[in-house]
């Protein structure tokens, strides 16, 4: 790990399950969700203040809309969130035949479509129905298609810089997969294994891409983010964080040279929590020597 890398806890307000960080340039703020607290949050580095909007279901992901405000995936539905009025407007309900399912991670593709996937919730600690999830795409005209089926925990996702490859994580496969991607239609096809996580890396969660086309994967229970070269399928860097449940990452700041990393305290027992004072905080990593790219906007 380079000696110039600096890690600091910037959001001390702890998240039960912090996820889906998105840098919002127009607000100069980091937007993210606390899934289990059913909140969409916005942190300003200038004021160090966290604002939040409570919603009526577990919210897996948030993304920016082209003309302001947000699109979110919560419970079993896609919705728009108006920040000022705190109004949530449902666009589409899905999987009504699967009451244990909920939306998880999501991100907007290069053409302004919102991809988000689902997963089965645990029915008891460590117990969940397998392969109940799916990956969906919400189009700007508010139509929806199903892209993948038989998914366990649909998680991190991003697109190659040339817009020809889609990267996706199904957490219980402990792997990152690559798909061919048609930027004109939004369709994905031909999955292949890109990277299988090693034992100490634990389970892959959220993911983002940098300006060099390399992937950064958050390792939940692995306490780290890892950098993967999609060309070779090899891990090229590991950055360890000061808490185990590292959930997702994104680049941000004025020139996208800072990485923001979310974490969780849910899933840690009391004894472990006592030894993990930073669990649930959000970290800023500087000195990585590489920048990220701005988030895409949902085109509606």
Residues 15-58 have pLDDT tens digits of 999 999 999 999 999 999 999 999 999 999 999 999 999 999 99
- pLDDT tens string 123-159: 888 889 999 999 999 999 999 999 999 999 999 999 9
H/E segment holding residue 270: helix 270-275
Annotated binding site for a divalent metal cation: 19, 155, 205
Residues whose CB is less than 8 angstroms from the CB of residue 185 and which lie 6 or more positions away in sequence, other chains included? none
Integer Cα distance of 214 and 193 in angstroms: 16
Mean pLDDT calculated for residue range 52-69:
97
CATH numbers and ranges of domains, the chain: 6-286 (2.120.10.30)
**What's the confidence (pLDDT) of residue 299?**
97
pTM over 0.95: yes
Judge whether 205 counts as a catalytic residue. yes
- pLDDT tens string 175-222: 999 999 999 999 999 999 999 999 999 999 999 999 999 999 999 999
Residue 293 has pLDDT above 80, yes or no: yes
Q: What is the overall mean pLDDT for the chain?
A: 97
Q: What helix, strand, coil percent values describe the chain, rounded to 5?
A: 5, 55, 40
Burial of 117 (C-beta count, 10 Å sphere; 0-12/13-18/19+)? buried
| Distance in Å from the first CA to the final CA of the chain | 41
Residue 93 has pLDDT above 60, yes or no: yes
Annotated binding site: 19, 102, 104, 122, 155, 205
Integer Cα distance of 254 and 252 in angstroms: 7
- pLDDT tens string 240-271: 999 999 999 999 998 999 999 999 999 899 99
**What's the confidence (pLDDT) of residue 125?**
84
**What's the confidence (pLDDT) of residue 126?**
82
What strands lie across the sheet with 59-64, from one edge to the other? 59-64, 70-74, 77-82, 87-93
DSSP string covering 136-177, please?
A: EEE-TTS-EEEEEEEESBEEEEEE-TTS-EEEEEEGGGTEEE
Catalytic residue among 105, 109, 170, 205: 205
């Amino acid at each position: 790990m380079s000696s110039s890398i600096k890690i600091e806890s910037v959001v001390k307000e702890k998240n039960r399950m912090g996820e889906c960080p998105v840098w919002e340039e127009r607000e100069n703020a980091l937007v993210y969700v606390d899934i289990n607290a059913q909140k969409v949050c916005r942190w300003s580095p200038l004021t160090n203040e966290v604002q939040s909007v409570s919603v009526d279901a577990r919210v897996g992901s948030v993304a920016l809309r082209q003309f302001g405000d947000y699109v979110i995936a919560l419970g079993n539905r896609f919705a728009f969130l108006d920040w000022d009025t705190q109004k949530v407007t449902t666009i589409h309900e899905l999987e009504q035949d699967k009451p244990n399912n909920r939306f998880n991670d999501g991100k907007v593709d290069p053409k302004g479509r919102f991809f988000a996937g689902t997963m089965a919730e645990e029915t008891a600690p460590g117990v969940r129905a397998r392969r109940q999830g799916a990956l969906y795409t919400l189009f700007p005209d508010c139509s929806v298609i199903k892209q993948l089926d038989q998914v366990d925990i649909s998680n991190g996702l991003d697109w190659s810089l040339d817009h020809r490859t889609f990267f996706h994580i199904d957490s219980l496969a402990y792997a990152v997969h690559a798909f061919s991607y048609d930027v004109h239609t939004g369709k994905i096809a031909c999955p292949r294994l890109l990277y299988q996580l090693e034992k100490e890396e634990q389970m892959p969660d959220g993911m983002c891409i940098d300006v060099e086309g390399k992937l950064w994967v958050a390792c939940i229970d692995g306490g780290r983010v890892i950098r993967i070269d999609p060309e070779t399928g090899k891990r090229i860097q590991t950055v360890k964080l000061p808490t185990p449940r590292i959930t997702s990452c994104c680049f941000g700041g004025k020139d996208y040279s800072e990485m923001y990393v979310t974490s969780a305290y849910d899933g840690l027992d009391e004894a472990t929590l006592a030894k993990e004072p930073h669990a649930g905080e959000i970290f800023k990593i500087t000195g990585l020597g590489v920048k990220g790219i701005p988030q895409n906007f949902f085109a509606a």
